[in-house]
Structure 1
Amino acid sequence: MSVDGVGTEHGDGGADEPGWDVDPDDESGVAVVAAVGRQIKAWREAAGLRAGEFGAAIGYGEDLVYKVEGGRRIPRPEFLERADEVCGAGGKIAAMKQDVAQIRYPKKVRDLAGVEAKSVEIAAYAAHGLHGLLQTPGHARALFEARQPPYSQDEVERMVAARIARQSIFERSPGPAMSFVQEESALRRPIGGTMEWQRQLERLLAIGQLRSVTLQVMPTRREAHPGMDGDIRVLKFKDGSAVGWSHGAFNGRRVTDSKQLRILELRYGIIRAEALTPRETLALIERMLGET
């Protein structure tokens, strides 16, 4: 799930790459990275290598090696792969990539991604911007960079990477049945500039043609509808359970009670009925592309 490029020589510069610091408030993340760091140190010492020698052998600076071993830095996948080779670990260090793959991302995003990954159905209405699963990296980055007070660039890159990582759900086989309703105004706002806007519309076209996805647009000219209070999401799971939440219902908290879920599903059903059909939606997006 790494989204970073791989250089041939990282040196000490690897220590300040965005998005790989450990969040001290993420207890589970801290525990995983600390355990991985201890394992790497044990393998390094068993190989008879000093930290500087080890760093030089894998293409990273000594300072970064100490940070990884001390649980203060999340090791990149290629760090683990090179460490495995240099220490002769026979795949045991490289296997830890699975343990750290998700820890890079904020806990609340990991929790959301976990729920989405278990779902068999996803229904989502976005009242203002585009749903995160539909955004391009450039679109997401522009949104995060526009926040006030501003995020640091490290925070921006970390959140962009987390948002894009969630989109692997489209590659699942079999994947969940997904339904999205977007307000037309969100498609017409050129987030990130004209070129990025074009890329975003092209992505929507591609997603809208997936067999597992139903994409609809709520025209701006429509009068009031049940989604005016905010986003709605309902996710269903294989065991028959479900979870939902909406900014305009139940104080925005997640709900699992069947009566409350029925309310959200009723609202979403009316929204879908008042939106453009999937075919009309794709035609609208194509027209927008022609206008850019």
Structure 2
Amino acid sequence: MHPRNRQRKNASAMKLVGALVARFRIAAGLTQRQLAEQACAQPETIASIEQGRRTLLPPLARVLDSLLDTKGTLETAVDNMPEVDLIPAWAEQYMDLERSALALSWFENQVLPGLLQTENYARAVFRTDVPALSEEEISQRVAARIDRREVLLRSEPPTASFIFSEAILVDRLGGDDVHSETLRHLLLCSEIPGVTLQVMPLGRQTHAGLSGPFILIETPEHQRIGYTETQRGSQLISSPDEVSILERKYAMLRTQALNSEDTKRLLDRLLGEL
């Protein structure tokens, strides 16, 4: 099914299904890690599903029904969950790929990449949404975004490269306190093994990313996929020719941006100016 036609399931229903998974797993005498191994999934995936933080998708529901001998209970529950568009449906397929990616290359020019956002920065981003979101919707979206940061802290984390515009660091979404917290957080992120941050400085005469932000993903099967978002939709790009274009753009961006050491010095300088 095309990701635009899928909806993020209701948060309360996700918790209910997660609780069922946990109950059936315990009844079967399995740990989360043991169930994950048998289901060919990540232990973090099972844990997040049981906590109601991640949707149980139909293919995994069928596998778990078979392993736990639950006679289709989980698949039936998933198929009949109420739906609500808390997280854009068209982004859900990308997030599935992000969770298991071997490598991520991410360019942004207006907002920090989601995996680098603090809770307060994410809240400031969602507070600027138009039309305005309710406080409950904001809280749910912030929680989901912060949960995604675990991707960088997996036992076998992806190799992750981030390039983002200096304009993002000049903006002060959420106010001065959030701004300084964000700069400190970026410095901490720059120390995570396998993570590289590069800032595209202002005032350049050439720029390989003028067509907009994009993400490159390498899957565990070594497939390379591109991802782009618009205001109300997204596109997963699997054509080798099209992915090659994005890879060449990203390679050029890496030569045009500050290197990682100069990026850290810029972050230090901006913090010192506060």
CA distance in 2, matches of 1:188, 1:142: 15
Residue of structure 2 in register with 1:131 after alignment = 113
- When the two structures are superposed, what TM-score results if normalisation uses the length of structure 1? 0.66
Structure 1 residues 277 and 271, CA gap change in structure 2 (3 angstroms): same
Which residue of structure 2 lines up, in the alignment, with residue 8 of structure 1?
none
Q: Distance in 1 between matches of 2:155 and 2:213?
A: 27
> 1:86-145 deviations in whole A, cap 9, x for unaligned?
xxx994599897343313963545433211112111001001111111111101101111
Equivalent of 2:134, from 152, 168, 171?
152
**Matched residue SS, 1:254:** strand
> Which amino acid in structure 1 is aligned with residue 142 of structure 2?
V
Q: Select 1:226's aligned residue among 197, 208, 211.
A: 208
Instruction: Give the percent of matched residue pairs that are identical in Structure 1 and Structure 2.
Output: 26
For the residue of structure 2 that corresponds to 1:217, the secondary structure is: strand
8 Å Cα contact 1:246/1:264 also seen in 2: no
> Which residue of structure 2 aligns with residue 208 of structure 1?
190
Partner of 1:44: none
- Distance change >3 Å, CA 252–CA 223, structure 1 → 2: farther
- Determine if the alignment matches structure 1 residue 278 to structure 2 residue 260: yes
Distance in 1 (alpha carbons) for counterparts of 2:25 and 2:126: 41
Q: Is the 8 A contact 1:181 1:217 kept in 2?
A: yes
| 2:9 corresponds to 1:29 | yes
SS of the residue corresponding to residue 204 of structure 2 reads coil
TM superposition shift of 1:180: 0.4
Query: 2:174 aligns to what SS in structure 1?
Result: coil
Cα deviation for residue 75 of structure 1 reads: 4.7
Q: 2:148: which partner in 1? A: 166
Give the equivalent residue in structure 2 for 1:217.
199
The residue correspondences of 1:54-203 to structure 2 (distance < 5 A) are 74-75=15-16, 91-92=26-27, 98-99=49-50, 100-103=52-55, 106=87, 107-203=89-185
Q: Which residue does the alignment assign to 1:253? A: 235
Partners in 2 of 1:76 and 1:193 — Cα distance?
38
Shift of 1:191: 1.1
1-side partners of 2:7 and 2:90: how far apart? 12
* Rg (Cα) greater in structure: 1
TM-score (structure 2 length as normaliser): 0.71
Task: Call closer, same or farther: CA 1:134–1:74 in 2, change over 3 Å.
Answer: same
- CA-atom RMSD in angstroms: 3.2
Q: How many angstroms does 1:283 deviate by?
A: 0.4
Alignment check: 8 A CA contact 1:122 1:236 kept: yes
Question: What secondary structure does 2:9 align onto?
Answer: helix
**Aligned counterpart for 2:220 among listed residues 214, 221, 238:** 238
1:247 and 1:169 map into 2 onto residues whose CA distance is 20
